[in-house]
Amino acid sequence: MFPKASLIQFLATLSIVSTIGVKVGVCASPAANPIDMSQAARDAEPEPQAIFGDIVACTDANLSGDCTTLGVTSGVCTCFTGNLAGLNDQVSSMEFDLGAGATCTLYEDDNCSGGSVFVSNTGIINNFQDIGFNDVMTCFKCFQG
Ligand SMILES: *[C@@H]1O[C@H](CO)[C@@H](O)[C@H](O)[C@H]1NC(C)=O
Ligand SMILES: *[C@@H]1O[C@H](CO)[C@@H](O)[C@H](O)[C@H]1NC(C)=O
Ligand SMILES: [Ca+2]
């Protein structure tokens, strides 16, 4: 016969094994997993969009002053609100590091509206005065090439 202490230890070990067994069973069964989504739920989710490059927006000409680097997602209107509000109506130069064929439109007003400038070359615009757009930009939208 087992000494009593050993038997308790054995039962405790058995109980841990059995708990692990149940957990593994739950994980292995998608239907029982509460974070598993149905196909319909997955279809309803917006496609996650990938950042395909960066822009650097600066408050002074020649990429000087306060410069902020932003990841760019194709087709998404990004506006200088919230934690980007410091750039609103302040941008004077920009660098576009978006790869060949990318295009951007820079907008004067909220929600990618109002006056705009189309940028088809990726590179640097050293002085927004040269494109008649100094200290007015509020939003931009870029497309991957
Ligand atoms: C920007 O750099 C160019 C070339 O070095 C210079 O001629 C120009 O004066 C600079 N512009 C400003 C506003 O600093
Ligand atoms: C932004 O523009 C889109 C497209 O015109 C429109 O559907 C949306 O309501 C606008 N959002 C705001 C906050 O103005
Ligand atoms: Ca503006």
Tens-digit pLDDT profile for residues 105-139:
999 999 999 999 999 977 999 999 999 999 999 99
> Do 38 and 19 belong to one domain?
yes
Q: Are residues 24 and 55 in the same domain?
A: no
Range of the domain at 14: 4-43
The CATH number given to whatever domain includes residue 92 is: 2.60.20.10
Same domain, yes or no: 23 and 72: no
Same domain, residue pair 68 and 131 = yes
In a mutational test of the pocket of ligand 1, which residue from 59, 60, 62 has the highest number of ligand atoms less than 8 Å from its CB? 62
| In the predicted structure, residue 25 carries a pLDDT above the cut 90 | no
pLDDT, greater one: 123 or 16: 123
Residue 37 and residue 94 in one domain = no
**Token digits of residue 119:** 């940028």
For residue 73, the cross-strand partners are 51
Atom of ligand 1 nearest to the CA of 126: 1
Whether residue 127 sits in one domain with residue 72: yes
Are 36 and 73 within one domain?
no
Is the same domain home to 56 and 36? no
Hey, whose CA ends up nearest to atom 8 of ligand 1? 62
Dist. CA 63 → ligand 1 center (Å):
10
The pLDDT assigned to 27 comes to 36
Q: Are 73 and 102 in contact (CB under 8 A)?
A: no
Whether residue 107 sits in one domain with residue 83 = yes
92 and 21 in a common domain: no
Residues 75, 133: one domain? yes
Of all residues in the chain, what percent are helix, strand and coil, respectively (each to 5)?
Answer: 30, 35, 35
Q: Does ligand 1 come within 6 angstroms of the Cβ of 124?
A: no
Ligand 1 binding pocket includes 61 (Cβ within 6 Å): yes
Q: How far away, in angstroms, is 68 Cα from ligand 2 center?
A: 25
Strands (E), the chain: 51-60, 64-73, 77-79, 93-97, 103-109, 113-119, 124-125, 139-143
Residue 91 and residue 57 in contact, taking contact as beta carbons nearer than 8 Å: yes
Give the residue with greater pLDDT, 13 vs 102.
102
Q: Which ligand neighbours the alpha carbon of 124 most closely? A: 1
Total domain count, the chain: 2
